[in-house]
Amino acid sequence: MAKRSPPRSVRCYHCGQPLEVSGKAQSTSCPACNGRVIVQDVEVAVLTPVHEIQTCGRLVVTKKGTLIAKRVQALGGVDVLGRMEANVESGGTVHIAAGARWRGDCSAPAVTIDPGARIEGGRFSVPSEPRYLAAK
């Protein structure tokens, strides 16, 4: 029954410290800054207004999901199939699917926008030295 989960390397989004966590961990605390670090993937499947979302994992906004946030940090990347209204800083590829809607700034090492996606505003930047990179 137990699934084997290899340890993952992530990076603390508070201070940038590399961390090793067990594959099953949902969160950990950073030994460098004592900050609480969410490492699990986050899925948004309904209308979700929040102040901010931070995770070392991936953020997925499903087709029926709407994420309205001031600030999003997803170090593992972002997948938007629904609607996103947030300023996003990603450590991985940001993918905006056909039929998705996006409003807000985006900073990511790579951005993929499918034909049929709607960008309703925001500044996109692909820094050559992003502050955060997805751990390999």
Place of tokens 């030994």: 31
Radius of gyration in angstroms for the set of CA atoms belonging to the chain, rounded to a whole number: 15
**131 lies in the binding site for Zn ion (CB under 5 A):** no
**20 lies in the binding site for Zn ion (CB under 5 A):** no
Per CB under 5 A, the segment of 35-43, 78-86, 103-111, 112-120 that binds Zn ion is 35-43
Per CB under 5 A, the segment of 9-17, 50-58, 100-108, 124-132 that binds Zn ion is 9-17
Candidate list 5, 7, 24, 33; residue touching Zn ion; CB under 5 A: 33
125, β-bridge pairs: 107
Number of residues lying near Zn ion (CB under 5 A) = 8
Candidate list 14, 71, 101, 103; residue touching Zn ion; CB under 5 A: 14
Q: Of 110, 113, 105, which Cα lies nearest the Cα of 70? A: 105
- The contact set with Zn ion (CB under 5 A) reads 12, 14-15, 17, 30, 32-33, 35
